[in-house]
Amino acid sequence: MTQRIDFATEPARYRHWKLKFDGEVAELIMDVDENAGLFGGYQLKLNSYDLGVDIELADAVERLKFEHPEVKAVVLRSGKDRVFCAGANIRMLAGSSHAHKVNFCKFTNETRNGIEDASANSGQKYLCAVRGTAAGGGYELALATDRILLADDGNSSVALPELPLLAVLPGTGGLTRVTDKRKVRRDLADAFCTVEEGVKGTRAVKWRLVDQAVPNSKFEAAVKDAASKLAAQSDRPGRDAKGIALTPLERRFEADGVTYSSVKVEIDRAARRAIVTIQGPGVPPPASAEAMHDQGAQFWPLRLARELDDAVLHLRLNEGEIGVLIFKSQGDPSLVLAYDAFLEANKSHWLAREILNFWKRALKRVDLTSRSLVALIVPGSCFAGTLAEIAFACDRSFMLIGTPAGDNRPAATMRLSQLNFGPYLMSNGLTRLATRFLGEPDSVGKAQAATGKALDAEAAEALGLVTATFESVDWDDEVRIFLEERSSFSADALTGMEANLRFAGPETMETKIFGRLTAWQNWIFQRPNAVGAEGALTRYGTGVKANFNPERV
């Protein structure tokens, strides 16, 4: 049986990262254990990484936000001499399935986006101190930070060498960040991406690939000074604030699903689909921000967001043939809205802000998952406020009219909160409702005017909040037809269609990264010039030169 990839970890279990704290500044040190790869058959030499390394990084980034509110700046650096990070491990890539390659690249970019989100929205600024070579994904990691310092020692360099070495796209997010974030000139970026050995010192600064090149004798002082200046820009609460522990998730894996405290995943492998049921809160929100803090990781919105995020990652990486995710919910929608109102009222509190930001990232993870997504809104559902965002993230949503005979649950309703119109931005920089109604902006205003109201099926359909509504006599057949039709289509074609349709509106750095990952990186990673018997990725390290098909496509 294929090894199950687990995304849950904690600092005591890290094999590849170390955390150090000094007041407002923390150090996140990459010190990869070359013999602790996620799978067998390769060594993680030269601080190269696989998915296991990035799972730890993602965990560290989240813990820095929640467990260390006093930290205002994070210095990202290597724990090894003469190398910062050699990027994604080539042996791992060569031996991985195509699906794993793409999901690995997607997760690494989501993690780097999480670093950028920490800087933009959590006040936790990142500085990268590069000593040695930062190549490929290693340089991409540096690019995710606010400021890059490079040792000017004749050895240290930055590089995106994928094109000459591996015949693949130079950096899944690297190219985009080079041009859109660091504003590197196109011709210089072209030259940069064709030089295996990379760029050093003052030239790297001149080309805007790094911010500062510093001699070794002054490097540590420059890092300390830059970290202090970044910390001064932060609005984190400071030394007196007390963090909360991100305690282990409550979950139970079974042959056909996973059960969490507020999420249940039921897998039907024969039908290639899974039902993800969200359980609403059982009690009202606490009376104060202090009481929220006391609940810590058990505070319902945070607990649910962490569980949903873990469930989506599990389905992505461990259940590759599950093509359709069916989202359901159950609970009291008025309680969901009460928690939304609580978070809105306390959004200036650092913990409430972090919880809202976590939900934003978890919902983006849903958006970016290459599965067909459908929401079924039935009696007893609680698709309200924050949970309604899950329905808005879906490709289709169906709502049952009224209550079937013999069902004593309340009829299905949808309810909106102020959180549907602000904090949960998609990768395109718009809310899901603004994206939904690009061609009819007045519809956003009409939906906002209905905030708080219990919208039955007819009202929800009239406002454009669901795809279709059905009477109970038609419900089972309509849902069955949709699911059967979906499973009959090409998985590849569906992935391309869904990825195109989900991000209407403005193009941003994020949409470019994931659009290029879905299309160009996905395509190039399957071409013979990269992965064929004579391809560069296959022959890497053998001493035999790759044999390229020169045809332009």
pLDDT of 464-490, one tens digit each?
A: 999 999 999 999 999 999 999 999 999
Of residues 8 and 499, more confidently modeled: 8
Q: What is the helix (H) or strand (E) element at residue 367, kind and residue range? A: helix 350-367
pLDDT of 105-153, one tens digit each?
A: 999 999 999 999 999 999 999 999 999 999 999 999 999 999 999 999 9
pLDDT of 325-369, one tens digit each?
A: 999 999 999 999 999 999 999 999 999 999 999 999 999 999 999
pLDDT of residue 171: 65
Residue 528, phi then psi, degrees to nearest 5 = -60, -30
pLDDT of residue 517: 80
The three-state secondary structure class of 325 is strand
pLDDT of residue 1: 37
Residue labelled with tokens 């990186």: 521
Which tokens is 226 given? 């830059």
- Alpha-carbon distance of 359 to 306, in angstroms, equals 9
- Give the pairing of strands 251-254 and 212-214: unpaired
Residue labelled with tokens 């067909």: 372
Residue 306, phi then psi, degrees to nearest 5 = -65, -40
Decide: 24 and 231 in contact? Cβ < 8 Å. yes
- What average pLDDT does this structure show over 446-468? 98
pLDDT of residue 170: 73
pLDDT of 20-42, one tens digit each?
A: 999 999 999 999 999 999 999 99
pLDDT of residue 327: 98
Closest CA to 163 of 183, 135, 144, 141: 135
The three-state secondary structure class of 414 is strand
Closest CA to 198 of 255, 273, 136: 136
The three-state secondary structure class of 214 is strand
- The one-letter amino acid at 507: E
Decide: 536 and 94 in contact? Cβ < 8 Å. no
Cα 273–518–50 angle (5° rounding)? Answer: 85
DSSP string, 261-293: SSEEEEEETTTTEEEEEEE--SSPPPSSHHHHH
DSSP string, 159-212: E--HHHHHSS-STTTHHHIIIIIS---HHHHHHHTT-TT-B-HHHHHHTTSSSE
Average predicted confidence (pLDDT) for the chain: 95
- Give the pairing of strands 25-30 and 17-22: antiparallel
Percent of the chain past pLDDT 70, that is, above it, reads 99
Q: Alpha carbon of 223 to those of 77, 451, 463: distances in Å?
A: 10, 49, 54
pLDDT for 90 beyond 70: yes
pLDDT of residue 55: 98
Which tokens is 323 given? 């093509």
pLDDT for 72 beyond 90: yes
Closest CA to 227 of 26, 77, 21: 26
Sorted by where each starts, the structural domains of the chain and their CATH numbers stand as 11-232 (3.90.226.10), 251-501 (3.90.226.10), 509-539 (no CATH)
pLDDT for 8 beyond 50: yes
- Alpha-carbon distance of 475 to 379, in angstroms, equals 12
- Alpha-carbon distance of 12 to 16, in angstroms, equals 11
Q: Alpha carbon of 425 to those of 190, 367, 392: distances in Å?
A: 32, 11, 12
- Alpha-carbon distance of 31 to 497, in angstroms, equals 40
Q: What is the helix (H) or strand (E) element at residue 101, kind and residue range? A: helix 98-121
DSSP string, 493-519: HHHHHHHHHTT-S---HHHHHHHHIII
pLDDT of 163-205, one tens digit each?
A: 999 888 776 789 999 999 999 999 999 999 999 999 999 999 9
pLDDT of 496-526, one tens digit each?
A: 899 889 989 999 999 999 888 877 777 888 8
The three-state secondary structure class of 27 is strand
Q: Report the phi/psi class of residue 221: left, alpha or beta, with left for phi > 0 and alpha for psi in -120 to 50.
A: alpha
